[in-house]
Homo-oligomer: A and B are copies of this chain.
């Protein structure tokens, strides 16, 4: 098995602004003012939806040629429902994270419609982020405390 390890480091800056660094890339995540932040970037929920949409775009882009699909335009909209009363502790019945995530794939292509639909099914099955969200991984947490 050709296991690869991906890594990111998140550092809390002012307030709830967070710098995320992976290899030589970085972006800032934050919260909008109504969720107590300075709005210096997307929030993690939006970043998760972005990762999902981007991953499907990348799988489509990477495999289109091999599947004989011509992609002229590809725009993937992802939206998710989340009840902030869950993590805010206002409602113990509310799910903490997303309850539903909807993807809308908008593709412009000269290929046969049935072939495109078959290809989209392939993309959905082959997307690592979609798989991670549906087929739960094993999670561990370690804590290092410095006084």
* Chain A contacts to B: CB under 8 angstroms: 1-12, 15-16, 18, 20, 22-23, 25, 27, 29, 31-32, 36-37, 41-62, 71, 73-87, 89, 91, 94-110, 113, 116-117, 120, 124-147
Contact = CB atoms under 8 A, between A and B. Distances in A.
Contacts of A141: 102-105, 120, 124
A87 B43 CA distance: 28
A144 B73 CA distance: 11
Contacts of A130: 96-97, 139
Contacts of A140: 100-103
A87 B25 contact: no
Nearest to A14: B61
B51 A144 contact: no
A47 B54 contact: yes
9 contacts: A2-B84, A3-B81, A4-B84, A18-B54, A18-B57, A29-B50, A44-B54, A99-B137, A99-B138
Nearest to A84: B4
Nearest to A59: B87
Nearest to A142: B104
Given A140-B102, A143-B107, A143-B120, A132 B97 contact: yes
Nearest to A102: B140
